[in-house]
């Protein structure tokens, strides 16, 4: 993971607030915050027991966001996620009961255990920030963010995410094992789940929305930086080992995250290092490698991307 010197006071305050609960996970936390402040969704792909759920809950608390959770299983129905209309005899009419997707930050645990039909309901929510039930459309709460998890080595009883849904995730991130000292601190502290509920928020939903707008409007992007992003994008499309390169949406996501990286470092303008900061997590899962059955952050994809980033001329 790429690490840099965070100088923004808001981000530093969040890191300080969560440090007692997320030992050794600052790099992963930065990526959660980039997605939150750039209006994107995050896929956490890692083994069980490494703190994915704890991180999602802690992020919701510190950002002041209403938290919801969906535990995916093979028999999960779309209405278990979106909500449904229930007939009220006393009123002689149906009344809509919203599902967990109507929270600000929604943890979708083991997303690849949900059936394609349920995943399609999630896709509409993630892509359009709305759900459609019985012909009626309902807007979701703002800000809205999905943090989904999946186990990279458990494939029994799962349904691989379609390419269209993978493309909706701003980043695909692995937390990884903590370093030795951090893990010793975790063993000393024990479970922090109950303490997380008492975290005092640093922000609010309204503040998160304001930050998203400020980062977009106040962080300058030169034509040379746009040219640099397009060069990287075109190189993925012309690479001999890549059969499907980065889409226009992928390039836009790369730009949004570069703005956020600059803002986190206290700059009002983007430089090439900001573009590269989160490129592996943003781009690798959007690329289709030659000979691969599906896209994904495979070693081959990461190796090809590393080659592209080292060869692309940075003229920012």
229-282 pLDDT, tens per residue? 999 999 999 999 998 899 999 999 999 999 999 999 999 999 999 999 999 999
Query: Band of the pLDDT at 135, cuts 50, 70, 90?
Result: confident
Domain count, the chain: 2
Distance (Å, rounded) from C-alpha 156 to C-alpha 146? 24
CATH code for the domain of 175: 3.40.50.300
pLDDT digit string (tens) for 60-119?
999 999 999 999 999 999 999 999 988 888 878 888 899 999 999 999 999 999 999 999
Whole domain around residue 315: which residue ranges? 219-316
* pLDDT score for 160: 83
Any domain includes 214: no
Q: How far apart are CA 203 and CA 225, in angstroms?
A: 31
Average pLDDT of the residues in 221-225? 96
- 213 found inside a domain: no
147 with 228, same domain: the answer is no
pLDDT tens profile 138-179:
999 999 999 999 987 777 778 888 787 888 999 999 888 888
156 plus 250 within the same structural domain:
no
Can you tell me which residue has the tokens 């759920």?
53
For residues 237 and 114, state if they share a domain: no
Angle at 246 between CA 242 and CA 249, to 5 degrees: 165
Q: Work out the percent of the chain whose per-residue pLDDT is above 90.
A: 60
pTM of the entire predicted model: 0.91
DSSP state of 285: G
**Helices 9-18 & 52-62 angle (0-180, nearest 10):** 130
201 plus 223 within the same structural domain: no
Q: How far apart are CA 97 and CA 81, in angstroms?
A: 11
- List the beta bridge partners of residue 139: 130
Which position has the token pair 């009123």?
Answer: 91
> Largest Cα–Cα distance of the chain, in whole Å?
69
Rounded to 5 degrees, φ, ψ at 189 are -75, -30
The single residue listed with the structure tokens 């995410």 is 161
C-alpha distances in Å from residue 190, one per residue of 22, 50, 79, 185, 195: 12, 13, 36, 8, 11
Of residues 283, 276, 274, the one with CA closest to residue 253: 283
CATH number at residue 227: 1.10.8.80
């Amino acid at each position: 993971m790429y690490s840099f010197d965070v100088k923004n006071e808001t981000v530093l305050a969040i890191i300080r607030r969560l440090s007692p609960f997320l030992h050794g996970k600052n790099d992963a936390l930065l990526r959660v915050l980039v997605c939150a402040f750039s209006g994107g969704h995050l896929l956490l792909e890692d083994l069980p027991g490494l703190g994915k759920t704890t991180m999602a809950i802690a992020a919701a608390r510190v950002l002041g966001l209403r938290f919801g959770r969906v535990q995916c299983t093979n028999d999960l129905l779309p209405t278990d996620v979106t909500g449904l209309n229930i007939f009220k005899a006393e009123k002689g009419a149906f009344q809509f009961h919203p599902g967990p997707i109507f929270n600000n930050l929604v943890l979708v645990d083991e997303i690849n255990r949900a059936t394609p039909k349920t995943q399609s309901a999630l896709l509409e929510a993630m892509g359009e920030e709305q759900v459609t039930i019985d012909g009626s459309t309902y807007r979701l709460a703002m800000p809205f963010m999905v943090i989904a998890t999946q186990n990279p080595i458990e494939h029994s009883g799962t349904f691989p995410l379609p390419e269209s849904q993978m493309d909706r995730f701003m980043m695909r991130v692995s937390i990884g094992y903590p370093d030795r000292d951090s893990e010793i601190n975790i063993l000393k502290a024990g479970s922090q789940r109950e303490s997380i509920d008492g975290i005092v928020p640093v922000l609010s939903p309204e503040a998160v929305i304001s930050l998203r707008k400020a980062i977009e409007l106040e962080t300058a992007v030169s034509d040379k930086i746009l040219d640099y992003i397009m060069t990287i994008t075109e190189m993925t499309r012309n690479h001999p080992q890549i059969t499907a390169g980065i889409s226009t949406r992928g390039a836009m996501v790369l730009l949004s995250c570069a703005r956020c990286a600059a803002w986190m470092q206290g700059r009002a303008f983007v430089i090439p290092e900001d573009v590269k900061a989160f490129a592996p997590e943003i781009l690798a899962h959007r690329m289709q490698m030659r000979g691969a059955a599906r896209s994904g952050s495979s070693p081959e994809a990461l190796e090809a991307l590393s080659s592209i980033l080292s060869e692309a001329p940075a003229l920012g």
